[in-house]
Structure 1
């Protein structure tokens, strides 16, 4: 599948990119998962944003969070694949790109995430290891996971 990706600081996003990423996050996290929460948490402005486009549409997205903002370590958050592109390996691709960009941007080999527990096996396949006990975040069970290795695609 042909794709292009962009990694931009918040201030570099144009209005269309910002609208698309916020719409996708809302479509999946608020509507599809029926989770009422404030997605705009005042962290976006300090993060890098990875947008993965397929066929001219935003197929997947995540934000790259600097150390000290969500966790002591660098983090990848708001990982989301458009329902229209699921089952095509796009989620794996966006995570591989995110992990590589964390290494490139932050010079780190350690990444901590707060994963929805249903996706634990997916993140384990990328080298993440669960740490601690599951916890509730906005009505959805999560678990912290850490990776010390990176995939170069």
Structure 2
């Protein structure tokens, strides 16, 4: 697992991040939305590769951002390649991100926008759903919180 700022990502690494997000969110899930949202530059990125040699095959990815105006940390763009699903990689990725947030932003509430199909996964990690579900790019989502 690699933790990197945007400026630390090589062009090849960011290409693989964008491709994995496109392949899953836009093509597989048929959700047309602006994935490249101008937030990558302020985010911390977590990348999990198929082997110790990076840049070979990106298997899992997520980012988080500290949002000063609303005093919270947001986890976003959690995505796994098809062949990486149901193998515990998503749980490992999320646990590393939560641990990093606890270290870097102690006491800050963490939010994420979960697809309804993934809600139970996030609940298993300690997230709690809040509010009503809403449509985001043609897929129902719900806001979830992790509070220390």
Question: 1:98-109, aligned counterparts within 5 Å?
Answer: 98-109=97-108
Question: 1:2-151, aligned counterparts within 5 Å?
Answer: 5-55=1-51, 56=53, 57-68=57-68, 72-149=71-148
CA shift, 1:109, in A, is 4.5
* C-alpha contact (below 8 Å) 2:115/2:141 kept by paired residues: yes
CA shift, 1:148, in A, is 1.4
Computed over aligned residues only, the root mean square deviation of the Cα atoms, in angstroms, reads: 1.4
Q: What secondary structure does 2:48 align onto?
A: strand
Cα offsets for 1:59-103 (capped at 9, x unmatched): 10000111247x641011000011111111111111111111112
Q: Which runs of 5+ in 1 are unaligned?
A: none
Distance of 1:62 and 1:147 partners within structure 2 = 16
Give aligned pairs, total.
144
Distance of 1:130 and 1:80 partners within structure 2 = 19
CA shift, 1:54, in A, is 2.6
Distance of 1:118 and 1:85 partners within structure 2 = 17
* C-alpha contact (below 8 Å) 1:116/1:140 kept by paired residues: yes
Which portions of structure 1, spanning 4 or more consecutive aligned residues, are displaced by more than 3 angstroms? Answer: none
Q: Which runs of 5+ in 2 are unaligned?
A: none
In the superposition, the TM-score normalised over structure 2's length comes to 0.91
